[in-house]
Amino acid sequence: MKLLVPVKRVIDFNVKPRVKADGSGVDLANVKMSMNPFDEIAVEEAIRLKEKDVATEIVAVSIGPAKAQETLRTALAMGADRAILIQTDAEVEPLAVAKLLKKVADEEQPGLVVMGKQAIDDDSNQTGQMLAALLGWAQGTFASKVEVEGDHVSVTREVDGGLETVKLKLPAIVTTDLRLNEPRYASLPNIMKAKSKPLAQKRPEDYGVDIAPRLATVKVTEPAKRQAGVKVGSVDELIAKIKETGVIA
Ligand code: AMP
């Protein structure tokens, strides 16, 4: 079975984002970029399925600028077999990403698509669900456990207040949650080997998909600065302060 793993290049999760002075978005100039953490989990899960002989080939795909090649090389160094870059400098919204991924899925015919539950830059949490709808395939979102059994996959989902297990007929879409696994680091020899693994270069036009934005970002603002704390001398003073600031009546 072939696995398709979409990976997005995003601002590194350790970086504190700076908002551009004109409030039009986040400043990405000279900022460290990395693979979306949920996508690293997806790559790891795909590799584990291959190690269990459930999967035979892992294809990583990214939609983004030329530099997204680095993200794909990371996926290849972790253990993906080949990669596809759909290159564009435009900001691609989840619906357009899902349409492109549908075209790739039509061509590649994977048995399973394993992808992140959300990209940490836009926090949309939409692409997997939209892709499942476009393909007419089953979806298991927020996965904390994935087990392929014959022509089905069991997905344990992290839902409010507990876990839910769903059994999906393959082909299907799985989106990963934080507790699914701990992604491996690529070893130096594997980083070297990844340089010679195949990476196909495409453009959105090659798939006939219109990626024109449907949404306009009105304004991006920094979160409110935290107020400095106040030291109080007694519980009574604390209660008085809380009443004063209106936190409790
Ligand atoms: P989102 O719906 O934007 O929160 O993204 C959910 C998941 O869709 C991500 O974790 C990725 O697996 C995938 N995805 C979103 N955008 C891209 C992209 N530009 N290239 C590859 N995969 C993407």
| Mean of all residue pLDDT scores within the chain | 95
Q: Indicate if ligand 1 lies below 6 Å from the C-beta of 36.
A: yes
114 and 54 in contact (C-beta within 8 Å)?
no
145 and 175 in contact (C-beta within 8 Å)?
no
pLDDT at 65: 97
pLDDT at 129: 98
User: Which of the two residues, 246 and 169, has the higher pLDDT score?
Assistant: 169
Q: Indicate if ligand 1 lies below 6 Å from the C-beta of 68.
A: no
H or E stretch at 11: strand 9-11
Q: Indicate if ligand 1 lies below 6 Å from the C-beta of 64.
A: yes
For residue 204, give both structure tokens.
Answer: 């959105």
pLDDT at 45: 98
Q: Is the pLDDT of residue 235 over 80?
A: yes
pLDDT level of residue 249 (50, 70, 90 thresholds): low
User: Which of the two residues, 101 and 224, has the higher pLDDT score?
Assistant: 101
pLDDT at 225: 85
Residue 228 to residues 16, 74, 236: CA-CA distances in angstroms? Answer: 20, 42, 20
Is the bond preceding residue 171 a cis peptide, omega within 30 degrees?
A: yes
- What are the structural domains of the chain? 2-245 (3.40.50.620)
pLDDT level of residue 191 (50, 70, 90 thresholds): very high
Express each pLDDT in 34-90 by its tens digit. Answer: 999 999 999 999 999 999 999 999 999 999 999 999 999 999 999 999 999 999 999
Å from CA of 15 to ligand 1 middle: 19
Q: Indicate if ligand 1 lies below 6 Å from the C-beta of 204.
A: no
Express each pLDDT in 82-137 by its tens digit. Answer: 999 999 999 999 999 999 999 999 999 999 999 999 999 999 999 999 999 999 99
Atom of ligand 1 nearest to the CA of 64: 19
Q: Is the pLDDT of residue 224 over 90?
A: no
Å from CA of 7 to ligand 1 middle: 6
Å from CA of 234 to ligand 1 middle: 51
CB contact set of 12 (below 8 Å; sequence gap of 6+) = 31, 32, 33, 34
pLDDT at 247: 67
H or E stretch at 118: none
Q: Is the pLDDT of residue 174 over 60?
A: yes
pLDDT at 15: 95
Q: Indicate if ligand 1 lies below 6 Å from the C-beta of 101.
A: no
Express each pLDDT in 10-31 by its tens digit. Answer: 999 999 999 999 999 999 999 9
Å from CA of 190 to ligand 1 middle: 25
Q: Is the pLDDT of residue 244 over 90?
A: no
> Rounded to an integer, what is the distance from CA 93 to the centroid of its chain?
13
CA-closest residue to ligand 1 atom 10? 116
**CA dihedral of residues 108, 113, 114, 116 (deg, nearest 10):** 100
pLDDT at 248: 61
Express each pLDDT in 134-157 by its tens digit. Answer: 999 999 999 999 999 999 999 999
Neighbours of 111 (CB within 10 A): 18
